[in-house]
C-alpha cells in the first residue's frame, strides 16, 4: 500500500463535567463524547520525509495561522510519533482536507492526528490495534484516544479512560460556529475561579440510559450539560443566544461543545432541522452552519 485516504470525524460533548484536578494541573473530566458526520479527509502517501498541506473547503477561520502546515500541527506530530515508535526511517506526505471548523471545541486537530496514527499503521503494515494507537494518541492530546475509537464513549480522567457506549438513537444535529477562537486554557482558568456547587451526575445518567436500552432524542436532550458553558458564554454571550435560538426553532436540546464556541441542537425532524439551519444562517450570517448526524463506532473507518 502506497497511499490511503481516511475520514476524520468531529466530536461533540453531550455532557462535560469537571470532577477534579491533578497535581500537574490537568483537569479531570467526566464527559460523554459523540462523533458526528462532519469530517476532514486525511490523505497519506509514503514519502522519504514528513510533509503537510492544508486544503480548506470553507471559510471557518482555517488560515495557516490556525492550522499550520509544519511541525506545529498535531497531525505532523502524530506522524513523527508513530514513525519513531515503529523505527521507520521513511516519512509520509499528509494532505488535510479541512471541513471541521478550527478552534471550535469539535476536536478537529485531534481527529486528524487520530487518522494519521491509524493511517500510518495501515500504510506501513504495522498492525497496531486500537489499544496501542490510544497509548500513542494520549501523548498527543486528551481527545485523540476517543477519536481513534470513535462512536460514543464516556471519557474520564484527562480523557484517556474510555468506556465505549452504544450510540443514541438517530437524531438530526444542527451545528453552528461563529468565526471567533476561544482559548481553552483561559476558559479552564476562568472555571477554576468559580465557586462550584454540587450537581447531578448527568454523564452517569446518560451512560445508564445508553447501556440499558438506548436513548432517544428526548432522553439525550434531558441529559445535556456542559460546566464550561457558563464561563465561555460570559465572554461571548452570543453563544448562549445561539443555543436559545435553536430551541426556539424546534431543537429538543441545544448546548455548547467543549470549551466552545460551537453550538449544537438536537432535532427529531429532518424538515424542521433544515428550516432551522436556514434561519440560523439568516440570523448569524457570519457563522458556519450545517446539518449532520451521529456516527457509530462501526462507521469510524
Based on the domain organization, do 28 and 45 belong to the same domain?
Answer: yes
Decide which of 164, 192, 220 is a domain's last residue.
164
Lowest mean pLDDT among 5-14, 152-161, 188-197, 200-209: 188-197
Judged against a pLDDT cut of 90, whether residue 164 lies above it is answered with yes
Residue 46: which pLDDT band, with cuts at 50, 70 and 90?
very high
**Residue 76 lies in domain:** 3-164
Based on the domain organization, do 32 and 101 belong to the same domain?
Answer: yes
Active-site position among 98, 143, 177, 245: 143
Average pLDDT over residues 253-268: 96
User: What's 251's domain CATH number?
Assistant: 3.30.70.890
pLDDT > 70 fraction of the chain, expressed in percent and rounded: 96
What's the pLDDT at 65?
A: 53
What's the pLDDT at 131?
A: 94
Based on the domain organization, do 70 and 139 belong to the same domain?
Answer: yes
Whether residue 143 lies in the annotated active site: yes
Decide which of 116, 141, 164 is a domain's last residue.
164
**172-198 residue pLDDT tens:** 999 999 988 787 888 888 888 887 677
Based on the domain organization, do 151 and 180 belong to the same domain?
Answer: no
Average pLDDT over residues 30-36: 97
Question: What are the phi and psi torsion angles at 124 (to 5°)?
Answer: -100, 10
pLDDT > 90 fraction of the chain, expressed in percent and rounded: 75
Based on the domain organization, do 75 and 123 belong to the same domain?
Answer: yes
Question: What are the phi and psi torsion angles at 229 (to 5°)?
Answer: -60, -45
Decide which of 164, 187, 202 is a domain's last residue.
164
In order of 20, 194, 215, 223, 293, the CA distances from 158 in angstroms are 10, 20, 26, 21, 26
Based on the domain organization, do 176 and 158 belong to the same domain?
Answer: no
Q: Which residue has the cell 447501556?
A: 211
Based on the domain organization, do 132 and 183 belong to the same domain?
Answer: no
Based on the domain organization, do 143 and 176 belong to the same domain?
Answer: no
Residue 63: which pLDDT band, with cuts at 50, 70 and 90?
very low
What span, in angstroms and rounded, lies between the C-alpha atoms of 90 and 124?
A: 10
Q: What is the CA radius of gyration of the chain?
A: 19
What's the pLDDT at 56?
A: 82
Active-site position among 11, 77, 98, 177: 11
User: What's 60's domain CATH number?
Assistant: 3.30.230.10
| Mean pLDDT taken over the chain | 92
What's the pLDDT at 246?
A: 98
Cβ within 8 Å of residue 144, ≥6 positions away: 74, 78, 110, 113, 114, 117, 134, 137, 138
Residue 152: which pLDDT band, with cuts at 50, 70 and 90?
very high
Based on the domain organization, do 198 and 283 belong to the same domain?
Answer: yes
Based on the domain organization, do 250 and 292 belong to the same domain?
Answer: yes
Domains identified in the chain, total number: 2
End-to-end C-alpha distance for the chain, whole angstroms: 17
Whether residue 11 lies in the annotated active site: yes
Based on the domain organization, do 117 and 207 belong to the same domain?
Answer: no
**212-239 residue pLDDT tens:** 877 899 999 999 999 999 899 988 999 9
Judged against a pLDDT cut of 70, whether residue 61 lies above it is answered with no
Judged against a pLDDT cut of 90, whether residue 264 lies above it is answered with yes
- 250 backbone φψ class: left, alpha, beta (φ>0; ψ -120 to 50): left
Based on the domain organization, do 12 and 160 belong to the same domain?
Answer: yes
Q: Is the peptide bond before 173 cis (omega within 30 degrees of 0)?
A: no
Cβ contact 113:74 at 8 Å: yes
Amino acid at each position: 500500500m502506497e497511499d490511503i485516504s481516511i475520514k476524520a470525524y468531529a466530536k461533540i460533548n453531550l455532557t462535560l463535567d469537571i470532577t477534579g484536578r491533578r497535581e500537574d494541573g490537568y483537569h479531570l473530566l467526566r464527559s460523554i463524547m459523540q462523533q458526528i458526520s462532519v469530517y476532514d479527509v486525511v490523505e497519506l502517501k509514503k514519502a522519504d520525509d514528513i510533509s503537510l498541506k492544508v486544503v480548506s473547503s470553507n471559510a471557518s477561520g482555517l488560515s495557516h495561522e490556525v492550522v499550520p502546515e509544519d511541525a506545529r500541527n498535531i497531525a505532523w506530530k502524530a506522524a513523527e510519533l508513530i514513525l519513531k515508535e515503529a523505527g521507520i526511517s521513511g516519512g509520509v506526505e499528509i494532505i488535510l482536507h479541512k471541513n471541521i471548523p478550527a478552534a471550535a471545541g469539535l476536536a478537529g486537530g485531534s481527529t486528524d492526528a487520530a487518522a494519521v496514527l491509524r493511517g500510518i499503521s495501515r500504510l506501513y503494515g504495522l498492525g497496531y490495534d486500537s489499544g496501542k494507537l490510544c497509548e500513542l494518541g494520549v501523548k498527543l492530546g486528551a481527545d485523540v484516544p476517543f477519536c481513534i475509537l470513535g462512536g460514543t464513549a464516556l471519557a474520564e480522567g484527562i480523557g484517556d479512560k474510555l468506556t465505549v457506549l452504544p450510540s443514541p438513537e438517530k437524531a438530526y444535529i444542527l451545528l453552528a460556529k461563529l468565526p471567533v477562537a476561544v482559548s481553552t486554557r483561559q476558559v479552564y482558568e476562568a472555571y477554576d475561579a468559580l465557586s462550584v456547587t454540587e450537581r447531578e451526575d448527568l454523564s452517569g445518567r446518560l451512560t445508564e440510559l445508553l447501556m440499558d436500552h438506548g436513548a432517544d432524542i428526548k432522553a439525550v436532550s434531558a441529559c445535556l450539560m456542559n460546566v464550561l458553558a457558563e464561563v465561555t458564554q460570559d465572554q461571548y454571550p452570543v453563544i448562549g443566544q445561539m443555543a436559545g435560538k435553536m430551541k426556539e426553532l424546534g431543537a429538543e436540546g441545544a448546548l455548547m461543545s467543549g470549551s466552545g464556541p460551537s453550538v449544537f441542537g438536537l432535532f427529531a425532524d429532518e424538515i424542521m432541522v433544515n428550516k432551522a439551519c436556514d434561519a440560523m444562517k439568516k440570523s448569524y450570517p457570519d457563522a458556519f452552519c450545517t446539518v449532520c448526524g451521529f456516527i457509530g463506532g462501526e462507521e469510524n473507518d
